[in-house]
Chain A
Amino acid sequence: MNPIEVHGLHKRYGQVDAVRDVSFSVEEANIFGLIGPDGGGKTTVIRSIVSLLSFDAGEVLFQGKAVDKNVDYVRSHVGYMPQRFSLYQDLTVAENLRFFADLFNVPRNELGPRVEQLYEFSSLAPFKDRRAGALSGGMKQKLALSCMLVHQPSVIVLDEPTFGVDPVSRNDFWQILKTLAARGTTVLVSTAYMDEALLCDKVALVFKGRILAADAPQLLRTRFEEQLYLAATDAPHIVYAALQKSSLCGECELFGDGVHFTLANGATEADVARALADRGTAFSGIRLIDPGLEDLFLKLMKEQQE
């Protein structure tokens, strides 16, 4: 039995289909990522799973129990960190932890050791008497995470926990998630950052209420079957414009270090190089590259829109 199972989930808001036929399952002690842009339905999926939102069709199982019929069970067993987690700004770090422990009926005699363990995880011990409102963004996120771990849930669900957090704190935060998973905690996390996908055991690419693809990130990349090239340049927009006009490319996408493209039927790498050279477009070579998740996401997005 997987800790989280979602089958055919569908949610409408008025005329808008926010989530359309979404199915996936999260295995025990895995990190599962819902990856995609804002407005794609990630939060709706997450709220449905933690029993905060009713849905129109489908089945959502939390530790084998239907979430819509076991609301109390889900809420007392899941660790849920919403997008805007409301820490009490006027309470200190230690007071926030104690408050959330009381809320989840953690016995007082167990509180001490648990809090020590959480400090160890989060490196928040030196700041335990600081008001939550005076913490940096990265530390607030770690405190929010600690508060939801205080009742020792075996499944945690986090909605964009690293939004607006700097890269160093993001890295720390992911290290904590990795450690939790290694100790047996099941993690469902959403993010708009594509690079965080690679830190998950499995990801679902979410766009416009649908899952475009779901698998281990290394396997997902292999779904981009065509050969992908990079035309490297310091002026990617100029190379991009030239390739768009050339009709030599299938996929053709702007990246920071150049243009990623596939060849149209019959075209060769040499044709592309010649076309660029003929236009006097500066580029520093063409080479085969391994497709990334962003390449796959772009391709699947376009296929869905067609």
Chain B
Amino acid sequence: MSNQRPAEGDASAKTAGRDGFAVEVQDLTRTFGDFVAVDHVSFSVARGEIFGFLGANGAGKTTTIRMLCGLLLPSGGRGTVAGYDIMRDYERIKLRIGYMSQKFSLYDDLSVRENIEFYGGMYGLGRGEIADRIDNLFESIGLAEHADKLAGSLPLGWKQRMSLAASLLHDPEIIFLDEPTSGVDPVSRRSFWLLIYALADRGKTVFVTTHYMDEAEYCSRISIMKLGKIVELENPHRLKERYGVSTMQEVFLKAVAGSDI
């Protein structure tokens, strides 16, 4: 793990962020008019952690994620993502994170390689850089043998891998995954999670948002949001023990019980 602490007096370098934390926020708050979407939320995510972010629709998940990704300014609180201040350095944050959307827009009539090259170009990577990275990336994600196939011809599980590759090309420290394995078969889902574990072992921080409790089970820690606050922050197995139930679905329903959403 590399030392992310900035040199003394280097004003442009990363600030705040204690060593080992990829995300650290305190009292993060966002209001829209009178509505408090995110209400004094504090948490930290260790580098290399797989962190699940759950909540009912309207609980403040998306607003929180948008603040962490540098897409929305908080109304209050403070924090760092990849060592950068979310109030000031959001443009830098955008370059240090990857985002895999559930609705990744692939070009069906481009090959896998062409899709990824296109995405790299959008991130401002040069041709040489893209060429240097792409083979290693495909190798590590198991896409090498499909690199020259048309994206449209691939089964869903491979499209999701391609989508993951696109989010990793610029070598981000943190990747955000939105329901990464929804709808795939149980075997493909497991291959995907093995990739995610391997990424985490290499120090990538993985932030998973999902409505899919099967996915929540694979996270090392999950948070559950309700009405703008985090009501649980814990390892999924210990949560099941504490609530005395056998599934995350039951944990979730109990944790947000009484919610009027």
Contacts and interface: CB of A to CB of B under 8 A. Distances in A.
Contacts of A166: 55-57, 211
Chain B, interface residues (CB within 8 Å), range: 35 or more
Interface on chain A toward B: helix, strand, loop, or mixed SS? mixed
Contacts of A254: 190, 193-194
A246 B194 CA distance: 18
B145 interface: no
Contact of A294 (B57, B179, B186, B249): B186
B160 to A, nearest CB: 11
Contacts of A138: 57
B182 interface: yes
Given A171-B253, A192-B182, A237 B217 contact: no
A138, A166, A298 — most chain B CB neighbours (10 Å): A166
B261 A168 contact: yes
A168 B259 contact: yes
A234 B156 contact: no
Contacts of B218: 236, 256
A41 to B, nearest CB: 12
A191 B189 CA distance: 16
A170 B253 CA distance: 10
A194 interface: yes
Interface in A29-43: 36-40
B194 A237 contact: yes
**Centre residue among B183, B216, B247, B261 by max chain A CB count within 10 A:** B183
B213 interface: yes
A167 B213 contact: yes
Interface string B37-63: 000000000000000001111100000
A138 B211 CA distance: 12
B155 interface: yes
B214 interface: yes
A39 B235 CA distance: 33
A71 B63 CA distance: 47
Interface in A284-299: 294, 297-298
Interface in B224-261: 235-237, 247, 249, 252-253, 256, 259, 261
A194 B214 contact: yes
Contacts of A127: none
Contacts of A256: 214, 216-219, 236-237
B249 A237 contact: no
B16 interface: no
A195 B194 contact: no
30 contacts: A36-B185, A37-B183, A37-B184, A38-B183, A39-B155, A39-B156, A40-B185, A136-B58, A136-B261, A137-B57, A165-B211, A166-B55, A168-B252, A168-B256, A170-B211, A171-B249, A192-B183, A193-B214, A194-B186, A237-B193, A237-B197, A237-B198, A253-B190, A254-B190, A254-B193, A256-B214, A256-B216, A256-B217, A257-B237, A298-B187
Closest 8 CB pairs of A and B: A256-B217, A37-B185, A237-B197, A38-B183, A256-B218, A166-B56, A166-B57, A168-B56
